[in-house]
Amino acid sequence: MDFRRWCSHRVLPFSLLSSSLLLVLAIFFSQLAPAVRANAVFPVRHKYGGSAGRAKVALRELRAHDSRRHGRSLADVDFAVGGDGSPTSAALYFTKVTIGTPPGDYHVQIDTGSDILWVNCKDCENCPTKTDLKIQLRQYDVGASSTGRAVGCDQEFCSAVFQDNPLQNCKAGMNCEYSVSYGDGSKTQGFFVRDTFAFDQVSGSHQTSPMDGSIAFGCSYKQSGDSSASSSQAVDGIVGLGQANTSILSQLAQAGKVRRVFSHCLDGRKGGGVFAIGEVAEPRFNSTPLVPNQPHYNAELESITAGDAKLRLPWDFFGLASANRAVIDSGTTLAYLPADMYNQVVEQVLARQPGLKLYLLEGEFKCFSFGGEVDEGFPVVSFNFKGAPPLALRVYPRDYLFEVGDGEYCIGWQSSGVRSREGHEMTLLGDLALSDKLVVYDLERQAVGWTEHDCSTGIKLRDNASGNAYDVSATNLSGSPLLRPSSSSSSILLLLVSLALLRLLP
């Protein structure tokens, strides 16, 4: 019998049956589809508590923090592990992650300048066991986790880590070991393992449900130098959000769970905010291309203005524009400019108030007394990047002037003194320039973008499977109901974390 006639005998219109079949088939094949490229998000807190907290901090402590970080960022690496952080005070933010079976919680620093996740391991030599951060340190034990396994030197992950410097004398059964030396004299050694990593999914606005995945990460068995047991601000390790295939971002993307896009929105006043993995639906933003083949997130500057004054960009010896790259680095507290550019910026900042009497604080910071509103009395400094239209990163006087006393201000701009591997003085735009902005790193499109935003209000992330946009903020994620999803859930992926605020040394 003809199929259409068979349908008509059963009083079921063929068009309706066709639609029904298509719906059933769509549902069926959706169950067979690979893991959804969803989103991940976790709240963060600033080490110094935002603008209110930084006013109580000695400026030399901020500068010392950045010096330690930059020493590690430009470090020589014994083996190319792709990581350049250290679990003491190199990054501004840390969080709590859950690893292993049974699960254990570990406090790790968030670092956009490094590429691997690693934690201190059982019986680690000279690893910290105490900290002033009011957290409990923990050492990972691969033997105590039923899902933990060492990564062999002949396995794909190890090959990816050492692709530029392959391991010598590798034999089946040997661990994939690493050793990293940092510019500040510290060092870490260990081997890579693979284990279960616990997450939460966001199934709606502020609603979460649990899931997990398998992640390869470093297991440190020896520390030395500034990353040793003497550190009073030690944590358990680092989670890197760099560009390499070994980063947690890339591993989750390769598993089909997320896209290679992440963002942060940092509240400059209170020091909180969110880091997110996945597509941002709101607020909208514009982008500029990333400079290719760079270890950090670099973008090309077209011009710098201070108020109405356009400043001279420095050029290298050959007159090439490569000297005009800026590193976007949320792990740096201040902002660092090449010497000539620093002098121009400071000159224009002070030109608005020619009667100011300058003095040096702590021997190096230019300070003055001022009785008015700084945003009215001093110019906005704007870094203008390539784009269509050009993309401006505006830094307001309230951001670059630090109130160190009643009506006493110090200039936060710093002369770089830091050089790239090509020998150029570097422009590093840190937390001073990035606070109160949504900043998006799109590794799929090789672009970085931003827009000014009140980060205390949260952002919207898009679920690529359903097209829905969900509200996410740092303040109201924890109260959401936990529901176990089915394997075909298309909810946003959320890293299950708990944030602790780093406090300063006395």
Cα–Cα distance for residue pair 354/342, rounded to 1 Å: 18
Q: Is the pLDDT of residue 442 over 90?
A: yes
Confidence of residue 348 (pLDDT cuts 50, 70, 90): very high
**Band of residue 449 on the pLDDT scale cut at 50, 70, 90:** very high
Mean pLDDT of 426-449: 92
Least confident among 60-69, 198-207, 226-235 = 60-69
Tell me the torsion sign for CA atoms 329, 333, 338, 344: positive
Q: Higher-confidence residue: 143 or 4?
A: 143
Token readout for 250 is 């890339």
Assign a CATH topology to domain 284-451.
Cathepsin D, subunit A; domain 1 (2.40.70)
Question: Over 80: is that where the pLDDT of 475 sits?
Answer: no
158's enclosing H/E stretch is helix 156-161
Active-site residue (options: 84, 195, 200, 329): 329
**CATH 2.40.70.10 residue ranges in the chain?**
40-279+457-495, 284-451
> Which of 111, 184, 226, 399 is labelled catalytic?
111
Q: Is 329 a catalytic residue?
A: yes
CATH class of the domain comprising 40-279+457-495? mainly beta
Between the CA of residue 170 and those of 50, 221, 305, what are the distances in Å?
A: 48, 20, 54
Average pLDDT over residues 417-428: 71
pLDDT of residue 256 exceeding 90: no
| Mean model confidence pLDDT for the chain | 75
More confident residue, 328 or 4: 328
Catalytic site includes residue 164 = no
Banded model confidence at residue 37, pLDDT cuts 50, 70, 90: low
Q: Is the dihedral of CA 423, 424, 430, 432 positive or negative?
A: positive
Residue type, 492: I
pLDDT of 378 above 70:
yes
The mean pLDDT of 320-347, rounded to a whole number, is 82
C-alpha to C-alpha distance for 437 and 172, rounded to whole angstroms = 49
Residue whose C-alpha is closest to residue 380's, from 342, 345, 425: 345
Alpha helix (H) residue ranges in 313-373: 339-351
Q: What is the mean pLDDT of residues 234-249?
A: 86
Using 50, 70 and 90 to split pLDDT, how confident is the model at 204?
A: confident
User: Which two three-digit tokens encode residue 70?
Assistant: 């930059």
Residue type present at position 107: H
- Summarize pLDDT for 78-134 with one digit per residue, the tens: 222 223 333 433 446 677 788 999 999 998 887 777 788 899 999 999 988 888 777
Q: What's the rounded mean pLDDT across residues 164-193?
A: 83
Q: Is 234 exposed, middle or buried (0-12, 13-18, 19+ CB in 10 A)?
A: buried
Question: Which residue would you say has higher pLDDT here, 30 or 265?
Answer: 265
Statement: residue 480 has pLDDT above 50: no
Q: Has this prediction a pTM greater than 0.75?
A: yes
For residue 358, what pLDDT is reported? 94
Which pLDDT score, from 0 to 100, does residue 267 have? 81
